[in-house]
Chains A and B, each alone.
Chain A
Amino acid sequence: MGKGTTFDLQRFSIHDGPGIRTTVFLKGCPLRCWWCSNPESISPKPQLSYLAARCIGCDACLQVCQPGAITKLSSGPVAIDRAKCTDCGDCAAVCDPKALELVGREVDVDAVMEIVLRDRDYYARSGGGLTLSGGEPLLQPEFAEMLLHAAKNHGLHTCVETSGYAGWEILDRLRLAVDLWLFDYKETDPHRHARFTGRERATVVQRLQQLHDAGAPILLRCPIIPECNARPDHLDGIAALARRLPRLHGVELLPYFDLWRGKLDRFGLKTELPATVRPPSRATVKAWNDYLRERGVRLVAT
């Protein structure tokens, strides 16, 4: 026990909660958001990443691939047939230039905490700490709980970034070890919510209300995506929601950015997000924030 699957660990995280933080990304998510910037986080299993630019054409992977998913291109690098690939990772184990890498490792709490604690002086000085993100960290509740308790035992500030899509008993159990919830709110319109995220909105809003009523500190984080939820009625919905939750720490808008698109090729994934969606301009972002501010929403930037 004490193990979980993570796909990344980011030190000097300065946008996921107060101060300087280390964010641990847990793998697996019940949602399928079109704009997900970590598409490799959705599956709970390890996944093969392939960066052709790193391939040196040594062919070591060809020898070990059991399902025969790897073929050699005449131009030098190899190609992966994702239909045949089982994400077993045998090829990654022999790939010296790390063109092939298995993303998503099973790690234990102590190993994670060893790295997290290397920056504890920075947390102490800046009011930062540990953030669990994902994926959906609540999909691995025992692992998340152990990490949070380990962090609290070392006196670290803790944040959990969540979609809220989990059983209330899980949130309720973690509650005492979480200093700030970074609660993602994605869409006001129930139909669109189901379309954009693959899950119903009602559960999310219910968990948010429950968490709030239980007295948990919450920062509402709202990804705003052009052509999807970047609409006045959704902004109105955010304002209305914030009014209903008086103890809310604040609201933070997360404007869409598109640096993640390159990951689709790396993992052989597809997205529903139209290719026309582009990051908003600074002026647009400011207009969204102003719109909410005018409606009495307390905006917080981390």
Chain B
Amino acid sequence: MVIEQYTIATTPKYNFPQPSIDTTLPQRFIEQSIRSLKHVQNQSFQLNQQAFQQADNIELHAHTFHLKMQPIILRSNHEETPIAACDTSTIKVGETSRGMLIAVRGANVWKHRKNYKYTRLGPFIFHITEENKREVYETLEKAYFLSAHKQDQNSVNLFQNPTRIASLLERWLQATLSGTMHDGLVLFDGSLTAGTADTPAGRLKQILTNARECRNIVLAFSKMTNLRVNGYLITDVSLQQRDPLLLETAGLRPKPPIILLGEVYVARLCHGNYAFRMDIDKENSTERRIEGVEKLLGNDILTQGYPETLRLAHILCTFTANEVIAMQYFIARKYGLRIINRPDMHKLLFGPYGRGESYS
């Protein structure tokens, strides 16, 4: 008996909505990483470790801003919905005489049925100097978003560069998720604020458009916020109603060129005093936004009110001390860098009263 074998071909790309970005592996990241590292060969470098916080809370001043005190009570929607999240992380691995060595890593996590899966990209190590900071950033930006955002890169502080490169990778990951998943929830770390140097409005708009075309709902979670009503942080408002609930905000008018592409809510998604600022793509109807949050409640684990998928994305991209040591070892071995132990001037001058890190 002959078993009939069907010819199984890979799914043609045109079956998916065509995103305006390339979803193949970030080759440019590798090229730029290696290229920048080649310039640093056989130098000496000072071990140093410092995590950069991404500026994901660009806050807005608006006198008309207020919270609607009538909460939206949420009910879990258990309709099976794929959930995906992404996050990136960057860390300074060391300093050279000309600049600094940084590492960037991103992670996509998705939950399907009861299992979480991930794709992790990186670490990419860059040697950033005053001379190459513009070239590195623009090359990456052009490669992934086809055009470079018009901004004078020379005016950007060298120390802002790591977070900007990480933001670039994060936007690329967000674009990839939004444009390849269907009928799901895409969770972003941070807000849906655009018009900043890191996040040009057009780029975030495009990501959100792609998400809508694929019938995805984008929910952005901010772990910290500076938005205040009557002097109180919006996440500190106490309510009598039982969780889970959403509080709507109104009258939030950012200063140009900053724009908000999401409706801002205060989300209390589980019992306990855990509230987050949540931005939901404002091009979705109110009902669809609420449906998105209810599907999140029904499909993901929410410990301390924070979605597990997003928590895992954060955990997977974060650098551990062990990894930093390994990267320093890698750089020293592969590029012949000599590790030096430059004394900490604070410690040197002020002894035990000196602040700052100790590199011993």
A, B assembled together:
no
User: Residues of B with Cβ closer than 8 Å to A?
Assistant: none
